[in-house]
Structures are given as structure tokens and as C-alpha cells.
């Protein structure tokens, strides 16, 4: 039985470890040919090694699939173009781009350095923009030349970006930006046959391990809700032709739970046909805040 991505060409950034690795392997199981992109650095972005990406590509080949390794920096504009070109040169095209690569430099704002801010914004936000920019341009050109396009971009946000998390102003700002980027890009690329969606995953990885994520005890043989391979089924489905028509959405996913994040929505308001006087606004704004829904917590309720 063929997989749901049979014959599709997929790039997964940050695919050497964690969630990205599981994306790459599941795409391969579902019949896709995969470009495994990873710099092989540490959680904070330092260092580099081709080994993690090479190991994932080797696993894919052992499964009977096709894979190549790409070691370009996702946030380097020319490097991102080489990454996209590597898929086209090796496999004859590109159908899916999964922007997953990321780093952490957590710090309370009053202690955060300029480099800690810049590096996180660069890898996450520019590292989503740059590959998407080059992939989108290639798909647009194909569409304008009359060739069929049924492509996908799947970006990676975070609950921290959607709901906020102390000590992560840099990371949350980047991840919130990625969610907004997704919504705008979906509107821009729909005319060319490209669907754009975003996930906010929760899983036990190198990035979440220091926070104690998923450390709770569970019975032997019980479902591991924190395992990173739980995220891949949603991403692979979003990368398949079956997802046609679903675009501009942000999905929360962790364990066996998948949800749609509503994002910013308009709440209660007060209106008048005249300019407000600042002195009048105290009672007006307190009343509006009292009527509005409470901000969502970073972790969803258990039931």
C-alpha cells in the first residue's frame, strides 16, 4: 500500500534530531523523497556537525527510501536558496517545505544580551522566511508557466509564541512572528496552489528536556504522550495532497491531542461617534477587560 506522500519531494529543516528527525522518517515511510537539512549544532546554536543529518538519511535509506543531506544554514539567504535547489537538482522538484530548525537562548529580559535576542530571532524567524521565500518563488514561477502546483509549507511555532512563557521573550517573539507569517503567506500563495500551515508542538526534545518536559512516570508499555514522534503524523498529513484546501491555520499538537489555535480574535468593544477623552477611559476599559476572556494558559487543560 502506497503512503499518503508517495513520490512527493520534501525538505525538513533541523531534521537531524528530535521532532525534525521524526518528520523526516515519517515522510519517508509515507513514500516521500527527503532532503534532510541540519547544521548539527548544539541547542544554543553553537557548533556544527554533519553526523546527525547523515544518520537520519542513512535510516531513511535503510527503510528503502530516498534521502540526501543538506548542511546549509536556514537563516543564510543564499544557503536557503541552495537548500531548495538541492531538492530540485536531486529529485526533480519540490512539493513540501517543513521549517522546523530552531535554537534556545532562554533568559529573563533584564539579563538578556543583544546576541541572545538576535541569534534566536535569526534562526527561527529568518530561518523560516529564507527557505519559504525561495520555495515560494519557484512554485510561483511554475504556476505562472502553466505547470501544476500542489505544494505545502508547514512552519513551526510554539505554545510559548501563542500564549507566552516566562524567560522566553526572544523565543516567544520569534514563534509568534512565525504564526503571523504563516497566516499572511497562506493568503499570498493560495493563488499559486500552495497551502501554508503551522504547528505548535509539545514534545520531549533537547530543547525541552532542561525544563523537565515529559519526565513524569508512566506505566510500562503505556502511551508516551511526550514522545517527539507523535508530532509527525499531523505534519505529514499537512504535507500530503489530502490537505488541499486547508491553509492559514495554526495547529496545536502534543501526544494524541490535535487542536486548532484560534489566534487573535476580536473581543468586546465600546464605540462612540466622537473622540474619547482620556479621563473617560478608566471605567470604559475596566469594563471591557472584565467582559473579555481570560488569557489562555500555556498548557491546555487535561480534559
- What pLDDT does 50 receive? 87
Q: Starting at the edge strand that comes first in sequence, how are the strands of the sheet with 151-156 ordered?
A: 67-70, 33-37, 9-12, 96-98, 151-156, 194-202, 250-254, 257-261
* CA–CA distance, 72 with 26 (Å, rounded to integer): 22
Q: Which CATH superfamily is domain 9-261 in?
A: NAD(P)-binding Rossmann-like Domain (3.40.50.720)
Question: Beta-carbon neighbour count of residue 300 at 10 Å?
Answer: 14
- Interhelix angle for 77-91 vs 127-144, to 10°? 50
- What pLDDT does 252 receive? 96
The answer to whether the CB of 178 falls within 8 A of the CB of 157 is yes
Q: Is 126 marked active-site?
A: no
Catalytic site residue from 158, 226, 240, 243: 158
Question: Beta-carbon neighbour count of residue 84 at 10 Å?
Answer: 24
Catalytic site residue from 86, 171, 226, 240: 171
- Residue spans of the domains in the chain: they are 9-261
pLDDT tens digit at each of 303 positions of the chain:
589 999 999 999 999 999 999 999 999 999 999 999 999 877 767 777 889 999 999 999 999 999 999 999 999 999 999 999 999 999 999 999 999 999 999 999 999 999 999 999 999 999 999 999 999 999 999 999 999 999 999 999 999 999 999 999 999 999 999 999 999 999 999 999 999 999 999 988 766 655 555 556 667 788 899 899 999 999 999 999 999 999 999 999 999 999 999 888 899 999 999 999 999 999 999 999 999 998 888 876 665
Q: Is 158 marked active-site?
A: yes
- What pLDDT does 22 receive? 98
CA angle 124–237–203, rounded 5-degree value:
50
* CA–CA distance, 250 with 66 (Å, rounded to integer): 29
Catalytic site residue from 86, 157, 175, 226: 175
- What pLDDT does 107 receive? 96
- What pLDDT does 38 receive? 97
Amino acid at each position: 500500500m502506497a503512503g499518503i506522500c508517495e513520490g512527493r519531494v520534501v525538505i525538513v529543516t533541523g531534521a537531524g534530531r528530535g521532532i525534525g528527525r521524526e518528520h523526516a522518517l515519517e515522510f519517508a515511510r509515507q513514500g516521500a523523497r527527503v532532503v534532510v537539512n541540519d547544521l548539527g549544532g548544539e541547542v544554543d546554536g553553537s557548533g556544527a556537525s554533519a553526523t546527525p543529518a547523515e544518520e537520519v538519511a542513512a535510516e531513511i535509506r535503510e527503510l528503502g527510501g530516498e534521502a540526501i543531506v543538506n548542511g546549509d544554514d536556514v537563516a543564510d539567504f543564499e544557503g536557503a536558496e541552495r537548500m531548495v535547489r538541492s531538492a530540485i537538482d536531486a529529485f526533480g522538484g519540490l512539493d513540501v517545505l517543513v521549517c522546523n530548525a530552531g535554537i534556545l537562548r532562554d533568559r529573563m529580559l533584564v539579563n538578556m544580551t543583544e546576541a541572545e535576542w538576535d541569534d534566536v530571532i535569526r534562526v527561527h524567524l529568518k530561518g523560516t522566511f529564507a527557505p519559504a521565500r525561495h520555495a515560494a518563488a519557484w512554485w510561483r514561477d511554475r504556476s505562472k508557466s502553466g505547470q501544476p502546483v500542489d505544494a505545502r509549507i508547514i512552519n513551526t511555532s510554539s505554545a510559548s509564541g501563542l500564549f507566552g512563557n516566562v524567560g522566553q521573550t526572544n523565543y516567544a517573539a520569534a514563534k509568534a512572528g512565525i504564526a503571523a507569517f504563516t497566516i499572511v503567506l497562506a493568503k499570498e500563495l493560495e493563488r499559486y496552489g500552495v497551502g501554508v500551515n503551522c504547528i505548535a508542538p509539545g514534545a520531549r526534545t533537547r530543547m525541552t528536556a532542561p525544563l523537565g518536559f515529559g519526565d513524569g512516570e508512566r506505566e510500562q508499555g503505556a502511551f508516551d504522550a511526550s514522545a517527539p514522534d507523535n508530532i509527525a503524523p499531523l505534519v505529514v498529513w499537512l504535507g500530503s495532497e489530502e490537505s488541499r484546501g486547508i491553509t492559514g491555520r495554526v495547529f496545536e499538537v502534543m501526544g494524541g491531542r490535535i487542536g486548532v489555535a484560534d489566534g487573535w480574535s476580536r473581543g468586546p468593544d465600546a464605540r462612540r461617534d466622537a473622540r474619547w477623552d482620556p479621563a473617560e477611559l478608566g471605567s470604559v476599559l475596566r469594563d471591557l477587560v472584565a467582559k473579555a476572556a481570560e488569557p489562555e494558559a500555556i498548557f491546555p487543560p487535561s480534559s
